[in-house]
Amino acid sequence: MAKFNLNIEDLPGGEAGVKLTIDDAGTLSNMAENSLAQNAAIAIAQQLQGLGFNVVMPVAEIEGQE
């Protein structure tokens, strides 16, 4: 079972930063192979990014966006 951690922190300058960590990180390029928890974590991160939060995702997800 995959689990994820979503940390929201105050960054210098008053910006809120969101850091997403997924154990056994999936990729955005092939979400059909991800677990439900991986896809949920990615969807949450994308929604927060769309709202203007500074979202940092693991390399596996970033590579999948290319």
**Measured distance CA(1)–CA(10) in Å, rounded:** 30
* Rounded average pLDDT over 10-21: 69
Name which residue leads in pLDDT, 23 or 57.
57
Residue 22 lies in a domain: yes
Does residue 27 form part of some domain? yes
Alpha-carbon span 6 to 55, nearest angstrom? 10
In a domain, 61, yes or no: no
In a domain? residue 66: no
Does some domain include residue 47? yes
State whether residue 47 is helix, strand or coil.
Answer: helix
pTM, rounded to two decimals: 0.54
Rg (CA), the chain: 12
How many domains are contained in the chain? 1
Look at residue 32 and tell me if it is in a domain: yes
Which pLDDT value is given to residue 66? 43
How many other C-beta atoms can be found within 10 angstroms of the C-beta atom of residue 43?
A: 11
Higher pLDDT, 11 or 65: 11
Q: What is the pLDDT of residue 27?
A: 62
What is the domain range of residue 16? 3-56
**Sheet bearing 16-22, strands edge to edge:** 4-10, 16-22, 54-56
